[in-house]
């Protein structure tokens, strides 16, 4: 174990971070298991090494109901993410992985897409509260891959990417999905749509529909995304929009 409260430990870690930055060329940090030490300590490392980007892994348990499924309201879960960024410094480079969005998406794509509209009408994950500080993802090396600890439904992974690559937040693509699963071209198309239309971490999200079999949302008035098996949605798509990407139970206009 590392005693992060030990001043010598702090000094040597800061020196190491600055060496990685100046000599090796790294310009951002990932804080693994960030709930294992205080946000005050993380703030020291960030303030004294000045990375251009920093992201924390704060993986806490969801709130579950009697049916064994996550509650619709996961405000306490995302509040922990917001609190960490607040304590580290909301005006600095610190962000957190949006585990709230990941967990809700896991369940929503299994025929419960109504979960993607929170009680306030906004996105239910951290991106609904502080999208500029939320790093969205479908799976990572812990949840997917060989560890398989909280995997996304494997046959619906592209629905997950259609969501995070069109929505606010900073989306993160999983190496395995891109290089090993044969999804490179599909993911590339979604990345191109995001880039072409200037969708960014603080883009404006308007949720049009969120039912069991249909999620439909418009981003910045430029992009519309549909998740779910419902096919006939033409009456909900404004004129002038053309399909730019599509796949199994998702489409982007």
Task: Examine residue 227 and state whether it is found in any structural domain, yes or no.
Answer: no
Task: Examine residue 13 and state whether it is found in any structural domain, yes or no.
Answer: no
Sign of CA dihedral 14, 19, 22, 26: negative
Nearest to 203 by CA among 184, 188, 186, 224: 224
136: β partners:
171
Task: Examine residue 29 and state whether it is found in any structural domain, yes or no.
Answer: no
- Report pLDDT digits (tens) over 154-213: 999 999 999 999 999 999 999 999 999 999 999 999 999 999 999 999 999 999 999 999
- Report pLDDT digits (tens) over 206-252: 999 999 999 999 999 999 999 999 999 989 998 899 999 999 999 99
Cβ contact 225:252 at 8 Å: yes
- CA trace torsion 240, 199, 157, 94 (10° rounding): -170
Is the pTM for the entire model greater than 0.85?
yes
Cβ contact 42:17 at 8 Å: no
Catalytic annotation, pick one of 57, 202, 209, 213: 57
Cβ contact 116:207 at 8 Å: yes
| CATH classification at residue 114 | 3.20.20.80
Give dist(CA 186, CA 163) in Å, integer: 13
Task: Examine residue 10 and state whether it is found in any structural domain, yes or no.
Answer: no
Task: Examine residue 237 and state whether it is found in any structural domain, yes or no.
Answer: no
Task: Examine residue 220 and state whether it is found in any structural domain, yes or no.
Answer: no
250-252, strands of its sheet edge to edge: 205-210, 215-219, 223-227, 250-252, 245-247
Give dist(CA 151, CA 105) in Å, integer: 11
Catalytic (active site) residue 23: no
DSSP state of 206: E
Cβ contact 113:210 at 8 Å: yes
Catalytic annotation, pick one of 23, 32, 67, 232: 32
Query: For the chain, what is the domain count?
Result: 1
Task: Examine residue 223 and state whether it is found in any structural domain, yes or no.
Answer: no
193: β partners:
none
Q: Sort 115 into a burial class: Cβ within 10 Å, 0-12 / 13-18 / 19+.
A: buried
Task: Examine residue 147 and state whether it is found in any structural domain, yes or no.
Answer: yes
Containing structural domain, residue 72: 58-203
- Report pLDDT digits (tens) over 9-64: 999 999 999 999 999 999 999 999 999 999 999 999 999 999 999 999 999 999 99
Catalytic (active site) residue 57: yes
Cβ contact 166:241 at 8 Å: no
């Amino acid at each position: 174990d590392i005693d992060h409260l030990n001043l010598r430990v702090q000094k040597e870690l800061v020196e190491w971070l600055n060496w990685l930055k100046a000599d090796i060329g790294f310009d951002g940090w990932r804080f693994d298991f960030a709930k294992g030490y205080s946000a005050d300590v993380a703030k020291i490392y960030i303030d004294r090494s000045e990375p251009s980007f920093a992201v924390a892994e704060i993986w806490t348990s969801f709130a579950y109901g009697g049916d064994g499924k996550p509650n619709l309201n996961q405000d306490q879960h995302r509040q922990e993410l917001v609190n960490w960024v607040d304590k580290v410094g909301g005006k600095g480079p610190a962000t957190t992985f949006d585990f709230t969005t990941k967990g809700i998406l896991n369940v929503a794509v299994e025929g419960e897409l109504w979960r993607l509209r929170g009680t306030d009408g906004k996105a239910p994950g951290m991106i609904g509260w502080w999208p500029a500080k939320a790093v969205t993802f479908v799976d990572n090396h812990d949840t997917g891959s060989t560890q398989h600890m909280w995997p996304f439904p494997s046959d619906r992974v592209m629905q997950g990417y259609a969501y995070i690559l069109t929505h606010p937040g900073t989306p993160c693509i999983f190496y395995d999905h891109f290089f090993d699963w044969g999804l490179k071209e599909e993911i590339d198309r979604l990345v191109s749509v995001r880039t072409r239309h200037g969708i960014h971490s603080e883009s404006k999200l308007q949720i049009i529909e969120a039912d069991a079999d249909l999620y439909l949302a418009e981003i910045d008035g430029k992009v519309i995304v549909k998740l779910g098996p419902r096919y006939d949605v033409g009456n909900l798509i404004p004129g002038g929009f053309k399909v730019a990407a599509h796949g199994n139970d998702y489409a982007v206009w």
